[in-house]
């Protein structure tokens, strides 16, 4: 059984990570939310925990222990930033630190704002050192499929990092790199150390499709099938609920340039990826924009986040993935 709880990146306005929340919430409020939903895990934004006093960290650790909630911390790349979080993680009882590896989004490795080859070279150089640092600290690094790297890439990087490096599997993001989520889960299952439960509804375009955030369980991603694969190989993984970004991700896989930077494995699962994206897809005539994209006030965005998280929790309880 997955150990499900809240993820801060589905509540970026509410938590003051993005935009101008009318009343930014902190790590203690976020922990209250986890307890209210019957969570068995919680993922903290690193800076929120770093802002706590020593006494607050001790109190928070005690609360999590009593409620049997396993914490995960999301730390920033690169190496030096991640290493700064070791002491904080150990004091809070964290076993896994999650990170993403690049600024690339929407699977677009051809984006001229970034040098894809240089990004890959740097990761290959630094990952063995990072793996040793995590091993020495007694911690695990979980590197995410953050709409940049696919399953084969992450498996290569995890191998370079050694036993202390695994994968954070974001269930929605295979759709951003033209991979089938089920096949992706099968490939990475043995190396998964943490899960982001994300769902999307697709809005198809002439170039491909937009991935539009939605409550977890209301979209295209075959969550139950993925959970079955992961539970069979690694029961008890932490998994946090992350409605997607406030800006829809346009996956332009019908554009030849979009494929620049992909290797020979890429494209093998386009058909099944498209079939998955068609599930519960948005009609072409629908307004696919989120409140942020429509320019609505931040207070309205916070309400939108709250309603999506509440709906996600409701769906998880129906699946039996959250304690009622």
Task: Domain ranges for the chain, please list them.
Answer: 3-319
Question: Residue 294's pLDDT is what?
Answer: 97
**Can you say how many angstroms the Cα of residue 147 is from the centroid of all Cα atoms in its chain?**
10
| Radius of gyration from C-alpha coordinates of the chain | 19
The reported pTM is 0.97
Burial grade of 18 (CB within 10 A; 0-12, 13-18, 19 or more): middle
Q: Which of 284, 212, 290 is nearest to 251 (CA)?
A: 212
Q: How many residues does the chain have?
A: 324
Whether the upstream peptide bond of residue 44 has omega within 30° of 0, thus cis, is no
Which CATH superfamily is 3-319 part of?
Divalent-metal-dependent TIM barrel enzymes (3.20.20.150)
Q: Which of 144, 157, 183 is nearest to 268 (CA)?
A: 183
Question: Residue 83's pLDDT is what?
Answer: 73
What per-residue string of b and e applies to 176-196 under the rule 16 or more CB within 10 Å gives b?
bbbbbbbbbbebbbebbbbbb
In whole angstroms, what is the distance from residue 128 CA to residue 160 CA?
5
CB 68 within 8 A of CB 212: no
In whole angstroms, what is the distance from residue 32 CA to residue 36 CA?
6
Write out the chain's pLDDT in tens, 324 residues: 899 999 999 999 999 999 877 778 999 999 999 999 999 999 999 999 999 999 999 999 999 999 999 999 998 776 666 777 888 899 999 999 999 999 999 999 999 899 999 999 999 999 999 999 999 999 999 999 999 999 999 999 999 999 999 999 999 999 999 999 999 999 999 999 999 999 999 999 999 999 999 999 999 999 999 999 999 999 999 999 999 999 999 999 999 999 999 988 888 999 999 999 999 999 999 999 999 999 999 999 999 999 999 999 999 999 999 987
């Amino acid at each position: 059984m997955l150990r499900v709880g809240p993820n801060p990146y589905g509540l970026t306005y509410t938590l003051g990570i993005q935009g101008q929340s009318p009343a930014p919430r902190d790590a203690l409020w976020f922990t209250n939310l986890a307890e209210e939903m019957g969570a068995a895990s919680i993922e903290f934004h690193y800076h929120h925990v770093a802002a706590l006093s020593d006494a607050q960290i001790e109190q928070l650790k005690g609360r999590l222990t009593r409620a049997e909630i396993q914490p995960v911390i999301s730390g920033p790349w690169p190496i030096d930033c991640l290493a700064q979080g070791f002491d904080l993680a150990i004091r809070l009882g964290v076993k896994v630190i999650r990170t993403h590896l690049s600024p690339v989004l929407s699977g677009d490795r051809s984006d001229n704002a970034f040098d894809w080859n240089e990004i890959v070279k740097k990761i290959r150089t630094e990952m063995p050192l990072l793996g040793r640092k995590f091993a020495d600290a007694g911690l695990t690094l979980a590197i995410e499929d953050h709409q940049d790297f696919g399953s084969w890439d992450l498996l290569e990087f995890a191998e370079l990092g050694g036993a202390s490096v695994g994968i954070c599997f974001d269930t929605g993001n295979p759709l951003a790199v033209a991979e089938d989520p089920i096949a992706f889960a099968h490939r990475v299952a043995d190396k998964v150390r943490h899960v982001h439960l994300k769902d999307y509804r697709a809005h198809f375009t002439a170039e491909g499709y937009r991935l539009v955030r939605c409550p977890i369980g209301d979209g295209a991603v075959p969550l139950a099938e993925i959970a079955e694969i992961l539970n069979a190989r690694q029961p008890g993984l932490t998994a946090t609920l992350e409605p997607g970004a406030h800006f829809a991700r346009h996956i332009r896989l019908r554009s030849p340039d979009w494929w620049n930077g992909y290797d020979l494995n890429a494209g093998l699962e386009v058909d099944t990826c498209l079939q998955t994206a068609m599930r519960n897809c948005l009609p072409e005539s629908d307004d696919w924009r989120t409140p942020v994209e429509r320019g609505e006030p931040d207070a309205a965005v916070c309400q939108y986040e709250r309603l999506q998280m509440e709906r996600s929790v409701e769906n998880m309880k129906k699946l039996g993935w959250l304690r009622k």
